[in-house]
Amino acid sequence: MVVSKAKAAKASVGLRRARVERDWKDTFQLLVAMVLGGAAMSAGARNAILALFEQWPDAETLAAADPSAVERVLEPVGLAKQRAQTAIALAAAIHARFAGEVPESVDEMVSLPGVPRTVANVVVRRAFGVVAGAPPSTMIEDDEAVPASKVDASRLPADWEAALGESLVALDVPGVIERVARERATGAVFPPAWETFAAFHHTPFERTRVVVLGQDPYPTPGVAHGLAFSVKRGIKLPPSLANMFHELVADVGCAFPTHGYLLPWARQGVLLLNSVLTVRASEPGSHKLFGWRELTNAIIRALDAREEHVVFAFWGGYARAHAKLVKSGRHTIIEGAHPSPMSVKEWRGSRPYSRINAALREHGQPEIDWSLD
């Protein structure tokens, strides 16, 4: 639920329990301050954050701030460089996803970059008078019978763990998660922790009919949400996704989608899988050695071992290198160019969507409805 400015202002006026609450003009400033300095912050940290808000008082201005300028404001009190990146990423996500207003629910708040659940619980209670664990007041869109905002995808779901079998122990997924958590403690990492395994939660193992393999998440604040290539409603289409949609229109005759939220594909059995599940802000490929690739390779092998037919769509050289993992002969491999602007000439006319549906028909499986509106 997007909070009205009047409501947010009213909430912030009532913040009187502790000094850290009295200093901030609204809920946005309270949240950023809590993320940067905590409730028991020093006087120096409080003054530095107040100076930050003098220059960039709201989500829109802070999202557009020069990172080096933010660093200079925070540096004198020892707030690290990564904290500046976190503040900007948090502001950008609030501006892009919630029109500059802090959401009222804990679940939505922890989806924002750098916001742990402990901070979200405190901010929701103090700003909105909501007790943690109370029924959520968030509004659910009509087309989300099981809203993505209610799925905690911070862990690999049990059905996928079972599919991995004995290989799961060697993969040390908890160790990979812990390594990423240490990164999150020092700077912005995408997608949010609670959406890391979203692809597996929205596309269960037994329902997977198609795999579309990406590389790593979008490194831009507020964009990645755990489904390869996808962005949530209200987010500008990245160039690769726009190219995917142009080919979709040409290939199967769909109307050009009004948004880039690919959740309907995932719910039909399209596993939108990135080879690397997390990324440091503004640093593509930064987590490629964390152990994610070993996990996703094992996922592909597990699907290959399944009796039921799967279509593997490998776009671009990086993805095509994974075709060697599909060895059983029971499945379809569709290779092609990547939809990136760098290879868009080869991508155009490749007709991946109709080729996927043709392979599904051939094996007696339902086609994917690629339309999003």
Residues involved in catalysis = 216
Structure tokens at 366: 């339902």
3-state SS, residue 274: strand
228 within 8 A of 212, measured Cβ to Cβ: yes
List helix spans (H) across 218-262: 239-252
- Residue 135 is classified by DSSP as P
Q: How many whole angstroms separate alpha carbon 77 and alpha carbon 46?
A: 9
DSSP codes joined into one string, 3-56? PPHHHHHHHHHT--SSHHHHT-SSHHHHHHHHHHH-TT--HHHHHHHHHHHHH-
- Give residue 272's identity as a one-letter amino acid code: L
Contact 127, 13 (CB under 8 A): no
Q: Which of 41, 110, 130, 119 is nearest to 79 (CA)?
A: 41
